[in-house]
Amino acid sequence: MQTPGPFEYERATSLEGAIAALGIHGPGARVIAGGHSLLPMMKLRLASPDYLVDINELHELAYIREDGSELVIGALTRHVELLESEKLATAYPLFRDAEQVIADPVVRNRGTIGGSLCQADAAEDLSAVCVAAKAQIVIRGGDAERTVPITDFHLGPWMTVVADGEIVTEIRLPIRRGAGSAHVKVERRAGDWAIAAASACVWMDGDTISDAGIGLSAVGPITIHLTRAEELLAGATLADDLFDQVAAIASEDCAPIADTRGPVDYKRHLAGVLTKRALRRAVDRAHGRET
Amino acid sequence: MQVSININGEQVTREVEPRTLLVHFIRDTPGLTGTHWGCDTSNCGACVVLMDGQPLKSCTALAAMCEGHEIRTVESLEKNGQLDPVQQGFHELHALQCGFCTPGMLMTARALLDSNPDPSDHEIRTAISGGICRCTGYKNIVAAVQWAAQHQNGHATQQEA
């Protein structure tokens, strides 16, 4: 029988109350939202918080809305809501790509975007999606709010910049012209974690890529941000071998380990292939061609 | 801590540890052992119940998190001796052998038909993809859910069996 170790439980009734509780109980306190990553970790004693702050009743943290030149997603927005949002699918179709292959529909009823990012699991899909989309993460503490780029958010496996007494409240995505995006994933079976997955966003000006974002899942200790590839793509004009060069960078710049999902050389190869596929589909979508 | 949850329309109140999982809170209630406790890792779906009408893996929720919500278990399906169409469909089309996954499959199917009364085979397969059946190969389960969709009104009768 798998049961978490003992802890105290508090159901937050306000965001301020949740932040205060997290501050009072310090490093032993954790937020619980969907709980579909945290509770399995607690059963395995990979996490042993002594105080849980349940934020599931903070419905004000569940939303997807436009705010000026940004699309803003509340941290408590659940996978099923991300999957079904037409607003999100229009601006960033890679979210729907990813949500169709994250776990299964029952799990997607509970898991949240804030929880997924805070879990800081390199194999998790939404972190790569947010890296590609150049997301900004809004973190609130007792006295102040700060905004951190997703590329600075993860410090290592299962570690984020969120400090004691802080909580992630919002994910902000830029809305820019000429956008196209895609997420592609290879998994052993339906609902499994990725063997490898690639997220790509491009912002096109005709046949010129004005900007690009690429993130990879499951091929390193944390989500891989392909900065070298993004630099190559920014300002480049579409050409036959451009994506081959990017694929080569993806294979070189990832850092997979051999495990039951495959050996290192296979995963490096896969990272390259998936990056290329994600980029092609992102460009097609930016050009109004659905593939 | 005291936890009070509405299960199948009745308020169940008990003193439990905060770490008590919903699946155990349910199964420790007299008469409610129909919810199966399987993999304990949110993979197999045997423990699926409905929370406010949505399928939930009860091994991966704390009982305390469910206070104030309505939980429905497999015991709620049959009413006044009349099987729910999904139960009748499973019976008609032999959609179970050992029956271990069945409570989760039934509740997942019930929720699907509540929101989508006429699902395609693909929609059924997607909906039940969070459940693992080691006996049937899923074909009969999909057929049983289709049978239920076609017999939603007036529920199934023994004469049709």
> Domain check: are B115 and B54 in the same one?
no
Ramachandran region, residue A286 (left: φ > 0; alpha: ψ -120 to 50; beta: rest): alpha
The shortest C-alpha distance from B151 to chain A (Å) reads: 25
> Domain check: are B91 and B156 in the same one?
yes
In this prediction, residue B154 has a pLDDT band, given cuts at 50, 70 and 90, of low
> Domain check: are A138 and A225 in the same one?
no
Strand order in the sheet with B48-51: B10-15, B2-7, B70-72, B48-51, B54-57
Chain A CB contacts of B45 under 8 Å are 104, 106
Full domain range(s) for residue B43: 2-76
In this prediction, residue B84 has a pLDDT band, given cuts at 50, 70 and 90, of very high
Is A192 within a domain? yes
Of B48, B76, B104, which marks where a domain is finished?
A: B76
Residue A240: in which H helix or E strand, if any? Answer: none
| % of chain B beyond a pLDDT of 70 | 95
Full domain range(s) for residue A44: 8-53
Whether B160 shows a pLDDT value over 50: the answer reads no
Concatenated DSSP letters for B75-106? Answer: GGT-BTTBPPHHHHHHHHTT--SS-SSHHHHH
Give start and end residues of each alpha helix (H) in A148-263: 150-153, 227-233, 242-253
Is A3 within a domain? no
- Provide the CATH number for the domain around residue A95: 3.30.465.10
pLDDT of residue A2: 87
Chain A CB contacts of B63 under 8 Å are none
The shortest C-alpha distance from A29 to chain B (Å) reads: 14
Chain B CB contacts of A190 under 8 Å are 129
Chain B CB contacts of A106 under 8 Å are 45, 48, 55-57, 108, 130-131
ipTM: 0.94
- CB contact under 8 Å between A109 and B55, yes or no, is yes
Please compute the mean of the pLDDT values over residues B85-89 and round it to a whole number: 98
Q: Would an 8 Å CB–CB cutoff place B4 in contact with chain A?
A: no
- Provide the CATH number for the domain around residue B9: 3.10.20.30
- CB contact under 8 Å between B61 and A110, yes or no, is yes
DSSP letter at A188? S
Q: Which of A1, A52, A191 comes nearest B129 by C-beta?
A: A191
Please compute the mean of the pLDDT values over residues A40-57 and round it to a whole number: 96
> Domain check: are A81 and A149 in the same one?
yes
Q: What is the pLDDT of residues B6-63, one digit of tens each?
A: 999 999 999 999 999 999 999 999 999 999 999 999 999 999 999 999 999 999 999 9
pLDDT of residue A190: 85
Q: Which of A3, A40, A54 comes nearest B42 by C-beta?
A: A40
Of B25, B55, B76, which marks where a domain is finished?
A: B76
Q: What are phi and psi of A25, to 5 degrees?
A: -90, -5
- CB contact under 8 Å between A6 and B19, yes or no, is yes
- CB contact under 8 Å between B40 and A109, yes or no, is no
- CB contact under 8 Å between A191 and B130, yes or no, is yes
Is A2 within a domain? no
> Domain check: are A97 and A156 in the same one?
yes
Q: How far is CA A3 from the centre of its chain?
A: 28
Of A174, A192, A209, which marks where a domain is finished?
A: A174
Tally of domains within chain A:
3
- CB contact under 8 Å between B56 and A109, yes or no, is yes
Q: Chain B window 49-68: which residues touch A at a Cβ cutoff of 8 Å?
A: 54-57, 60-62, 64-65, 67-68
Least confident of A57-61, A68-72, A186-190, B127-131: A186-190
Chain B residue with minimal CA distance to A37? B60
Whether B158 shows a pLDDT value over 50: the answer reads no
Of B76, B111, B127, which marks where a domain is finished?
A: B76
pLDDT of residue B156: 45
Tally of domains within chain B:
2
| % of chain A beyond a pLDDT of 70 | 100
> Domain check: are A68 and A111 in the same one?
yes
Instruction: Report the candidate in A119, A66, A125 with the shortest Cα–Cα distance to residue A94.
Output: A125
List the single best residue of B50, B57, B106 to mutate versus A (max A Cβ within 10 A): B57
